[in-house]
Structure 1
Amino acid sequence: MSRDAVTCGGCGVSAVGAAGAVVLWGVSSRTQRHLGNGFENNGTDLGVLYTELPFVFLAGAVVPAAVWALGAWLLGRRRRSDLHA
């Protein structure tokens, strides 16, 4: 597999992970309660949009990309060792 394909795959996995993390965070009952779906809008806390949302987005982008990079590195290492054997 070429280096460009691996890089493109890592970027794709990162984008899907970030979008998926934000969607899952948005539909969770805890987040819905903070955003006003509690009883008569009690407990509405819009601070979660600037305190939690950036961390959810970054974690959703970084974790899948790190796993992808680790897998690509391990596969590349395995191919090199097969060539030397």
Structure 2
Amino acid sequence: MFSEEMYVVLESGASDEAFLTPIELQAKLVAYLTGTEVSLTPDLLALPDVESRAHYLMTTGCELRLANGGYLQWYAVRLEK
């Protein structure tokens, strides 16, 4: 039986993956979108605020490329009880 949806998150420069809840992943994406230099695609630029952009990324993508050549990747997983 599946208990809850989580995300496996990989970051450039980090040695291990992290398991995050959807709320935690959204907060991490908001932090990256506001605190680091990323190049936004036209579909992201069309959204009104950073929270909308983070939610859009969570539901339609699995990677955020950073200007320094780094990345943030996430994959949905379901953990068993």
Q: TM-score, normalised by structure 1?
A: 0.36
Q: Which has the higher helix share?
A: 1
Q: Which has the larger radius of gyration?
A: 1
Q: Which has the higher contact order (CA 8 A, sep 6+)?
A: 2
Q: TM-score, normalised by structure 2?
A: 0.37
